[in-house]
Structure 1
C-alpha cells in the first residue's frame, strides 16, 4: 500500500491483476449486468488508488477492503435503480423462482458446504478447485503439486467421500450421483 500511495504504477497493476476478476464477479452477481459490474470494479480500484495514502497498517487486507467497497457501490446502484427506474411494468407475472425455492436452495447449499467441511483437507481442496473455482484438472493438479493422473484419482476419491458425507446428512441416497 505504501508503494501505491507513492504512485507506483507497477504495484497498483499487480493489485489490479490480482483483484479485478473477483471484484467483477462480486459486482456481477449482485447487479446482474456485466457492464455495470465492470464500472463497479473499476470504481473500487480507483478508490484504492485515490485513498492509498490514508491506509493504516493493521486494517483489513486489500482484498477485503476492495470487496467491501465494491459491495457498497453495488448497494448504492441497486438503491438508485429502485427509486429511479423508468422501465415499464411487466405485463406478465414474474416467472422467477419463488422465495420458498430460494430458501430451499440456500439451505441445500449450506448443507453441502457443511458436508464439504467434513472432508479431509486434500479431498476438500480437490472438490473446491474443481467445482467451486472451476479449474481444469491439469491446473488443479499443478496447484496441488501433483501429477494429473494422481489428481484425477484424488478427485474420484473426493467425490466418493463427498457423496458419503451428503448421504450421512440425508441430502442424497447413498447410490445417488452427487
Structure 2
C-alpha cells in the first residue's frame, strides 16, 4: 500500500514534465518514459529489489526538467555542478513524498540511493541503481547522444559508463539491441 501510493505520487509528478517524447505513436512526458524504462531494467537486473530501491529507481530524475542544464555554465565544471545540484534536489523532493508513507530510516536510505551515496564503497543497491541508469542510457539515449558528439568523446563516455557498471550490468549491456554504428563505438570503448 505504501509503495503504491508513493509510486503514484512520483508518477503524477513525472506526468507534469512539459518535455514530450513519442512512443508507439503516442506522446508521453519524457520523465514518465524515463522512469518506466528505469523500472523495466530494474525488473531484469534485480526483480526482487526492495521498495526503497524500486522507488529510488522510479525517481532517479525526479522533476529534473525544472532545472535545465542550460541554467549552469556549459563547461565540464558546470555540468558536474548541475548534476550534483540535481541529485540533491531529486532526493529532497522524493523525501517529502516518502515521509508520508515510510519510516525515517527508509526515507533516508532512498534519498541516499538517489544521490548514489556509497557507489564506490560497494553498496549493492546503489550499484544496481547505477547499472540500471547506465543500461537506460545505452538502450534509450545513446543513439541520439552519439549524433551530438565526436567519436573520441563518445568512446571516452562509453568507457566511463562501462567503468561504473557491475559484471551483471556489463552482461545485460551487451544484450541491448544497437545499430551497427553504436556497436562499433562500444567495441572501440571496450577494446581501447
Normalising by structure 2, what TM-score?
0.29
Give 1 or 2: higher strand fraction: 2
| Structure having the higher Rg | 1
- Give TM-score scaled by structure 1 length: 0.31
Instruction: Indicate the structure whose relative CO is greater, using CA pairs within 8 Å and at least 6 residues apart.
Output: 2
